[in-house]
Every structure is written in C-alpha cells, then in structure tokens.
Chain A
Amino acid sequence: MDPITVIRSRTVVMPSTNIDTDQIIPARFLTTTVREGLGVSLFADWRYDKDGKPRPDFVLNQPDAQGCQVLVAGRNIGCGSSREHAPWALLDYGFRAVISTEIADIFRNNSLKNGLLPVVVDEATHAWLLANPGLEVEVDLESSTLRLPDGRSVQFPIDAFARYCLLNGIDELGYLLSQADAIDRYEQARAPR
C-alpha cells in the first residue's frame, strides 16, 4: 500500500444516519472473486434507477461531487455486514476518507486495512460539515488533524499502530508474520483446545 500523509479534497455529504454496508455495496455484487472494479456499483441502489440510469437527485450523480475524495456521512456509517467490499467500493470509486461522528466497528477496521481513513469528529464539527458540503478540507494523518476551510483544526482519534502502518505504507501482515516466534511459543505453552 502507498503511504498516506495528507488528503486534500472537497467533501460529498450524505447526511443519512446508519448507512449500512448493504447500501454501500449491495449483496448481489458480492459474488466477485477480486477486489477491483466495485466502484461502479458503489451505492448502486441509491445511485441508479431500475433501468441502470443515474438518478439525478443522488448526490454522487451531481456535477459538484465529481472528483471528491472525502465522504461526510451521518452517524454510524458502515453498520451491518462485515463485507470488505464496502471500503473496496469506496476506494475504487475514488474516496480516500470517511468522516462521521460514529463509524461502525468492522467497517472502520476494514477501512484502515485498505487505506480508507475513518475520521471520527465531534457533533459540532460534524454539523458544520453537513451544513457546508463541497468545501475543501484537509485530512492530515501525520498530526491526526482535520483542517476546515475556515482555519479550524480538529484532532481525530486513530489507533497508533494503524496510523504508523498507513503513514509508512507498511502492511500489518508483515508485522504479524514477524511475530512467528511468539506465536510458536504461545501454541506450545497453551495448546488451546
């Protein structure tokens, strides 16, 4: 994975709460056996009508949304299924960060593994972002800071290890594999059932 430092982009706002992973990528697209190519199906049932034509009222189909890399979503985005196809689809579409007041556990975890930054902010910052769609923000991973166009900066929490891996383009599997001795010792000592 390429190292991530700063993401600078205009925002797309989807204020709905509890946007579940079935909305992000409906189950019928999960019969794929690869990671790539899911962007076209991102939010498929909100984005396209029954004939497959883009719905003009859906935010991603509006001209202002083109090229945006930061998604601002209502509380608890990513609830539901553990499908990693959700962050894969968001990334394949072009998003690189998701901002909300709450991000569901498995989705947040899957996002970190793929370099999609989950950014949890306070209610006031969130309300401001929801009210001001399309403005350019800066997500700075090095300082774990979200910078708003009015000059404000807010810190966001991110696990220190995940941050280190993302900043340096290190993959966690390499780290786990390097712990083989500790795993051997554990297996020998405990022999868990």
Chain B
Amino acid sequence: MTAKSLFEKVWERHVVVPETADTPAILYIDLHLVHEVTSPQAFDVLRSRGLQLRRLDRTLATMDHSTPTDTAQIFGGMPIRLESAAKQVRQLELNCAEFGVNLLGLRDDRRGIVHIIGPELGATQPGKTIVCGDSHTSTHGAFGALAFGIGTTEVGYVMATQCLLQRKPKTFSVNVTGKLPAGVTAKDLVLAIIGRTGVNGGTGHVIEYRGPAIEALSMDERMTICNMSIEGGARAGMIAPDATTFAYLKGRPYAPSGAAWDAAVADWQGLRSDAGARFDKEVTVDAGTLEPMITYGTNPGMVTTVNGTVPEKPGDEVFAKSLAYMGLNPGERMTDKQVQVVFIGSCTNARLSDLEAAASVFRGRKVAKGVRALVVPGSQQIKREAEKLGLAKIFLDAGAEWRESGCSMCLGMNGDLVDAGQYCVSTSNRNFEGRQGIGARTLLASPASAAAAAVRGRITDPREFLA
C-alpha cells in the first residue's frame, strides 16, 4: 500500500466524483462557515435561481468582520455607527432567517471571530473539510481538517450543493525540529517560516506542519501557525491530530459524545501522514534557533528579529517603495522605533492563551504615554473567561481598551482604525498597505511582543519581561 500524507487521507474521504483531465474533482464539504461580508451576493444567487441550502446542518453563520467592538453599539442600544456595516449585519440576519441558517448573531453569547468559534464550539474536527468565504479558514487545519478559504461564488456553490469543484493541490511538508526557546512563540515561528519560504512559497500547495516543535504546541498555538498558512501562499495548512487535539475537543458542544466520541477518536488517530509519505516540497526549520520576530515591510514575508535591523536590498524598487510606506530605512534597528498603537486580537492571536501572554507583560505595568492599546478577545466566550480570570482587569488597569469580540483592527472595515503614518504593533496576520486604515503602518508580532511595545512605547524584546 502506498504511504499517504494526512492531506491525501482527508482529500480521498471527500471525493464525490474523481477528477479527470477534463473535469475537476467534486469535493464534499463537511462544514460551511458563513459571515456577513462574503455571503450576501451568494444568498442573492440562491434567491434568483430558486435554490435552498442543501445542508443547513452543515452550515453555521456568525458576524465578525464589519461588527463594531464598542460595547455601546452592541449591547448599549446604540446603532452600529458605520451605516454600510449596519446594513451588512442586517442583511445577514435577514438572509439567515429566510433560508433557515443557524446564525450566532450580534448579541449571541457564542458569537466571535468565525475561525475562533468553530474550534471553540467543537464544530471544527479532525478529518473534516471546512470552508468559509475567508482566507484564514486555514486556521481549522490545526485539528487535522482540510480547511481553506473560498470566494463568494463558491460560497454559493457550497450552500446549494455542499460541494466544490477542486483540482487536487500539491503537498508541502514544513518540518519543525528542536524546541522553541523561552519567550519565543508560535507567532514568531510562523513569521520565521514565512520569512524563509516567502509569501508565495506555498502557492498551489497544502502545507503540513510536522516535527517535535509542532507536536509540543497547544491547540491555540497550532491555530496561530495554520492561520498564517495563507500568508505563505498556501490555501490550507494542516497538523495531524493527537492527544492534545482530542483533549481540546472533548466535551465541546458540537463534538461527539459517549460511544460516538470513542469511535471518532479511534478514527482520528489514523489521520496522520504514513511513514514514507511523499511531499511535493519540503523545508526544515530549527525552532531552537529562533527569536521573537517582527515584520518591517508590507507583506508578512518581510520579517526580522525584534532585535534585528531593517535589511538592505540595493536596487530593489518594490522593496524601497515598501520601506518608504513604512517610514523605515535599511540598517535601522527595529527597537529604535516608537509605536503609537498596539492591537492585540484577530483570528491569529485572540485566544485565551494569547490574552494570558499579553496580560503577563501588562500585569502591574502601564501602557506608555502616547500609545493606544486595544485588546479585543476572539469570542464572547473568551471575553467572559478573560474577565473571570482577571485578565480584563489587568488590561484596563494598565490603560488598555477592552472590547467586545470581532475582527476589529485587523482590517479597516468596522470602525477600529489606525491613523495614517502611525505605527501599530499588531498580533494580526497582514501588514499590507492600508490594511488597518489608510496610511497605517503595521508591524506584525506576537501578543507578548505587542504588550511589551505597549508598555515601553517602542518595539521591545518581550523576553525583557519574562518572569
């Protein structure tokens, strides 16, 4: 029998009609996550063609991108300030009511960022195919699911048929050896990987992250890694499920229980790449040599160590244009840079352990003068847990803002914005021009690094705060 990779095993289970030279495979989708931004035009297609959703039981909707994080606009009776956002939220409510879709709406206590609540509710499970009209759907691959982002046309296909037309992608094994040093996080690891493989290194591929340093990660950390697969060009990133995965899922609302749980675990244990499985591409990274990382440019591959300097690339006009946007010069030390905004949140880094990492830096300290620090939990459940554990109080005592869950400042479409020219150390996933607001300068880093920058008012090695 041929040795198979984790991806191949999950792929094969979902082929409804195999691919031929003339036609792509028809791939079955186990879970379709829907949100307000990429669904309205898909519902319109259903309406205009007189179609219904094929499997409401495999569809889960929420709202996160354009929703405000200001409590008054969600629970305080204030209208959503951005009129177009209010309309989009309303449209999702109307569409879900009309078509019978299960919606975790604006005031639902299970609401949150779509890629955070899927796992939190236990809907994300090993071996599933999961899609959403959002590129960070790759997050769910942390559970050994095949999960990838799709456009709105395909959102409509999945609604109507529960299937997609797909060519089988290539495979890319990212082997991470060694052990992450103290104070170096999963975010630093994935930024280092993208720095190595480039923002297009994964194009056409599904990544499998493997090796002892990956096996040692918690589920929160694995989600951070898989989340940023798309920043390396790969639509999906996967990690083989193991005891850590099963322990996370057990008892969650959508997870199987009783005998079904035992059967599921027995099945999931087979979801790992066989010895000798072949990959189209492989790279090995030694976790033991890594340091806290931060981006300096306008794509996530433009990354250096927090203690490093801006690289020099003489004659590269695109590089020079990127540095000009960032207001940085080749050779400049990153730690010399003052920051004006710190954002701790997003589907990359807004889970409870991310907030704990940030709180461990903020505890007993203050946000530096002239810095605005925004802490936005990934879900309402995480918000409640953080409040119960006293984390919210630490943030507020430090002078940070503590918000309702949502995508917030990761992307400028919900009212949480960075002003032109301001530097923002952000735990999100994209440092593209204008991503956080017109002219905003994003520096991607881990929650600990972001908190350290907030306290010092400049880019700072978070290991200075290690207890």
Interface with A: B9-17, B379-387, B449-457, which one? B9-17
CA distance A18 to B430 in the complex (A): 13
* Nearest residue, chain A, Cβ from B125: A193
Interface size class of A (residues with CB under 8 A): 35 or more
A23 neighbours in B (Cβ, 8 Å): 432-434
Instruction: Report A1-50 residues with CB < 8 Å from chain B CB.
Output: 15-18, 20, 22-23, 26-28, 30-35, 45, 50
Are A82 and B151 in contact (CB-based, < 8 A)?
yes
Q: Which residues of chain A are within 8 angstroms of B38 by Cβ–Cβ distance?
A: 82-84
Q: Give every chain B residue within 8 A of A193 (Cβ-Cβ).
A: 30, 125, 127-128, 256, 264
Q: How many angstroms from the CA of A64 to the CA of B412 in the assembled complex?
A: 32
Cβ–Cβ contact B438 & A45, under 8 A: yes
Residue in A28, A33, A76, A192 whose CB lies within 8 Å of B200:
A76
CB <8 Å contact, A182 and B17: yes
Residues of the B chain whose Cβ atoms lie less than 8 Å from the Cβ of A110 = 151-153
Q: Which residues of B contact A83 (CB under 8 A)?
A: 37-38, 151
CB distance from B346 to the nearest CB of A (A): 13
Partner of A31, one of B41, B85, B134: B85
| B88 interfacial contact with A, CB 8 Å | yes
A182 to B26, CA, bound (A): 9
Residue among A27, A83, A173, A180 having the largest count of chain B Cβ atoms under 10 Å = A27
Known: A173-B160, A192-B13. 19 other contacts (CB 8 A): A15-B317, A17-B318, A22-B432, A32-B88, A35-B41, A80-B135, A80-B230, A81-B430, A82-B38, A104-B233, A106-B151, A161-B22, A172-B165, A173-B153, A179-B16, A183-B26, A187-B162, A190-B13, A193-B128
**Chain A residues at the B interface, C-beta cutoff of 8 Å:** 15-18, 20, 22-23, 26-28, 30-35, 45, 50, 74-76, 79-84, 87, 102, 104-106, 109-110, 113-114, 159-161, 164, 172-173, 175-177, 179-180, 182-183, 186-187, 190, 192-193
A-B contacts, 17 listed (Cβ < 8 Å) = A18-B199, A20-B432, A30-B413, A34-B41, A45-B438, A50-B420, A76-B200, A79-B199, A82-B135, A83-B151, A160-B23, A179-B17, A183-B28, A183-B163, A187-B162, A190-B28, A193-B127
